[in-house]
Amino acid sequence: MEKCSGVTAVIGGGPAGLMAAELLAQGGVDVHLFDAMPSVGRKFLIAGRGGLNLTHSEPYEQFLTRYGTRRPQIEPLLNQFGPDDLRQWVHNLGFETFVGTSGRVFPADMKAAPLLRAWLARLRLAGVNFYVRHRWLGWNESGALRFATPDGEKLVQAEATILALGGGSWAKLGSDGTWVSLLAERGVPIAPLRPANSGFDVGWSDTFRQRFAGQPVKSVILTFTNTQGKTFQRQGEFVITATGVEGSLIYAASALLRDEIEAAGSATFYLDLSPNRSQHWLADKLARPRGSRSFSSHLQSRIGLKGVKVGLLREVLPTAVFDDPGQLAAVVKALPVRVVAVRPLDEAISSAGGVMFEALDERLMIRNLPGIFCAGEMLDWEAPTGGYLLTACFASGRVAAQGMLVWLADGVRT
């Protein structure tokens, strides 16, 4: 077994770990970053495949509401490194950003790879040492970090460690949640990992699935009220899948839908398929004779519904409803869709649950493991897509690194 000592360790090469390493290097400490994968930043690259959504430009107070019940814990992190700070950091790295029509912020070229390459070059220049194919196995009896490597087990005696191991989604990219048992064995309280920003199963008929799976449902309003009376409502779009639904509008409501399924066994949301038309207007148009036209042609010509939206109506509604213009208009404005299960954790964009903030001090150090800090998605929080996930990961990495620098400078080590 190889053994090295006198170092600070960052375990995990995602945004939180890389940001922590950068701040530690700026603080003048010897930084060694370890990752289980053959290269770092793999999930970061996948996140940027369709355009790297770095953060969001909405007013800061509204931005903070996106973190739900964990806002009290996430807000102090964002106060130290928020959306504007992240944009400035990207600019300092040599990349311009722009605000999209939805308020989301992207690099000018939309790509993650050039930004990651420039960032890694800057980190290496700053003296950060990278070790890939190093899977963390916990600690040995003397407190040394254990790693499985292609050359056998390696021990690292670190002065302090930042764990930035990700959540439990996308295991093939490194976020496999295997750290849960390692920390639980040390008495660290951990909330179970659950899917976040995930799709849901509906149980479509074979006919509907074969015809519409993969098609987007655009410009609808989704409304959902849970059994506690909390209401979500937003306009957007989503995608029909072979098993149910996914996409940005579904992800935005996914935490409420997931929790409702866990509590009640299913959840029913409602779709306004024609947001710009009133129910009265729809009923009036639908009441007009359709002559020899098919009902699909009637819906398209009279109220502009076609394709997958008509398919949804036929999938959900009994035939008798189509003969009642008033009832049909009401359902076009509030089509019920019942979801019965959350898609598996490994399919989710992110995960909820993780190391509970109650186990950490304000520096993100584990209270019962002095010198061990946590950052990123392995903490117990969640947020919708839209740049909120990345922003909080970056912020937590910086706060953990700042906490470590203070802890290292404090001879008492408390």
* Model confidence pLDDT, tens digit, residues 141-198: 999 999 999 999 999 999 999 999 999 988 888 889 999 999 999 999 999 999 999 9
Residue 121 domain flag: yes
- End residue of a domain, out of 284, 316, 342: 342
Burial 43-72 (b: 16+ CB within 10 A, else e): bbbebbeeebbbbbbbeeeebbebbeebee
Query: Which pLDDT belongs to residue 292?
Result: 67
- End residue of a domain, out of 327, 342, 357: 342
Same domain, yes or no: 7 and 150: yes
Cα 144 to Cα 146: distance, rounded to the nearest angstrom: 6
Same domain, yes or no: 20 and 78: yes
Residues 6 or more apart in contact with residue 291 via CB below 8 angstroms: none
- How far are the Cα atoms of 89, 115, 118, 133 from residue 92, in angstroms, in the given order? 5, 11, 11, 30
For residue 259, the enclosing domain spans 200-342
- How far are the Cα atoms of 73, 79, 84, 400 from residue 364, in angstroms, in the given order? 10, 15, 22, 5
Residue 356 domain flag: yes
Is the pLDDT higher at 303 or at 358?
358
Query: Which pLDDT belongs to residue 288?
Result: 86
- End residue of a domain, out of 342, 367, 386: 342
pTM of the model as a whole:
0.91
- How far are the Cα atoms of 112, 113, 125, 131, 165 from residue 117, in angstroms, in the given order? 9, 6, 12, 16, 21
Query: Which pLDDT belongs to residue 411?
Result: 62
What CATH number should be reported for the domain holding residue 354? 3.50.50.60
**Where residue 64 falls among pLDDT bands split at 50, 70, 90?**
very high
Q: Is the pLDDT of residue 412 over 50?
A: no
3-state secondary structure of 223: strand
Same domain, yes or no: 179 and 71: yes
Same domain, yes or no: 253 and 396: no
Q: Is the pLDDT of residue 290 over 80?
A: no
Point out which residues pair with 355 in neighbouring strands: 190, 379
Count of domains observed in the chain = 2
Residue 414 domain flag: no
Same domain, yes or no: 21 and 72: yes
Task: Read off the pLDDT of residues 209-233 as tens digits, 9 standing for 90 and up.
Answer: 999 999 999 999 999 999 999 999 9
**Where residue 84 falls among pLDDT bands split at 50, 70, 90?**
very high
Residue 395 domain flag: yes
Task: Read off the pLDDT of residues 128-143 as tens digits, 9 standing for 90 and up.
Answer: 999 999 999 999 999 9
**Where residue 4 falls among pLDDT bands split at 50, 70, 90?**
very low
